[in-house]
Amino acid sequence: MRNSLRAAAAACQSKPVADRRAELSTTVDNVLALLRACVQDKGWTLEALEAEMAIDKSLISRVLNGERPLTLTFLLALPDEVEALFEARRAETFGLIVVEPAHGDQAVRNLVSGLFGVLGASKLPARADRMARARLPLVTSEEEL
């Protein structure tokens, strides 16, 4: 009975265990390389990370070099700018589009530009040629709402 269960389980596996371990190792190496690049791109040194994260710099170095496990606690202790860049770049590896948040006038410009793009306009007009007008039906009772 046990042998038939093992054979059935093995038949359901899409890849041999050794192949999956090799893929996992490659994935971990890629994630750590991405994290190291984010730390470097934001200009953080081991000494600065040690002060910010309250973790010994030798442990930080070992985690970044794959000698110690990368944990969620470690990721959450990273400086916010490093964590944000890492998560954005990691999302991009899945094919997602990452956009910086916009506020104020820039948010309005982005919205209008996006709406014109969706509606098929090739570019925004330099100036309106006439005033836009909309007629809304008059609601007289709560039942019509």
CATH of the domain at 50: 1.10.260.40
pLDDT at 144: 52
- Does residue 117 lie in a domain region? no
For the entire predicted model, the pTM comes to 0.59
pLDDT at 13: 56
Q: 123 — phi, psi (to 5°)?
A: -155, 160
pLDDT at 48: 97
pLDDT at 19: 65
Q: What amino acid is encoded at 51 in this protein? A: A
Structural contact between residues 86 and 41, judged by C-beta atoms closer than 8 angstroms? no
First-residue to last-residue Cα distance in the chain: 67
DSSP 2: H
pLDDT at 132: 65
Name the residue among 50, 38, 48 with its Cα closest to residue 82.
38
- Does residue 143 lie in a domain region? no
C-alpha of 12 from chain center: 32
- Does residue 74 lie in a domain region? yes
d(CA 29, CA 110): 37
**Domain tally, the chain:** 1
Along the 145 residues of the chain, how does pLDDT read in single tens digits? 555 545 555 555 565 656 666 666 678 899 999 999 999 999 999 999 999 999 999 999 999 999 999 999 999 999 999 999 999 999 998 888 888 888 898 888 888 888 877 666 556 566 666 666 667 677 666 655 5
- Does residue 132 lie in a domain region? no
pLDDT at 21: 64
* Cβ neighbours, 10 Å, residue 116: 14
pLDDT at 98: 86
pLDDT at 136: 66
- Does residue 123 lie in a domain region? no
Identify the domain containing residue 87 by its residue range.
Answer: 25-97
* Cβ neighbours, 10 Å, residue 5: 9
- Does residue 60 lie in a domain region? yes
- Does residue 142 lie in a domain region? no
